[in-house]
Amino acid sequence: MRGLLERAARRAGRLRWMVVPVAAYLAVTALLPLLNGAGARSGFARHIAWVAGGCAAVTAFVFLAQLASDAAASARTQARAMRSSRHERADQPGGRA
């Protein structure tokens, strides 16, 4: 369980690059309007909720895409290793293909 958590934390650490685009997006769509006094406008809280939800959804999507890509890459590596070990056995004298 701890190993799984550590792996998930390490994978999540690879999303660090997203901090800059997400922060830039939040600065333009939430922080600057807030500083310009948009906070008093009705509907601004709803807008912030959608922006925050969208950020969470996109981050989750990128995380899952990264997991899927890792799984595909590790499956490819395993298949390649199995193929090469089969070839090695076949190349040995008396070996079967």
Partner 1 sequence: MTTACPPAPDRWAARIAAGLDRPETRWRAAAIAAALLVVAAAKHGYSHASAGQLALFLSPTAHLVSLVSGADFVAEAGAGWVSRELGFIIAPGCAGVNFALAAFLALTLGWLGAMRTGRDVAARLAAAAALAYAATLVVNTARIAIAIALHRGAVDLGGLTPGDVHRIEGVVVYLGGLCALYRLAGASGPRSGREERERDDRSERNDRHARAA
Task: List contacts with partner 1 (CB under 8 A).
Answer: 3, 6-7, 10-11, 14, 17-18, 20-22, 24-25, 27-29, 32, 36, 47, 50-51, 53-55, 57-58, 61-62, 66, 69-70, 73-74
Closest CA to 52 of 35, 33, 34, 29: 29
Q: How far apart are CA 97 and CA 95, in angstroms?
A: 7
CB of 79 to partner 1, least distance (A): 16
Report the residue number, 65 or 90, with the smaller CB distance to partner 1: 65
Q: How far apart are CA 61 and CA 27, in angstroms?
A: 21
Report the residue number, 14 or 83, with the smaller CB distance to partner 1: 14
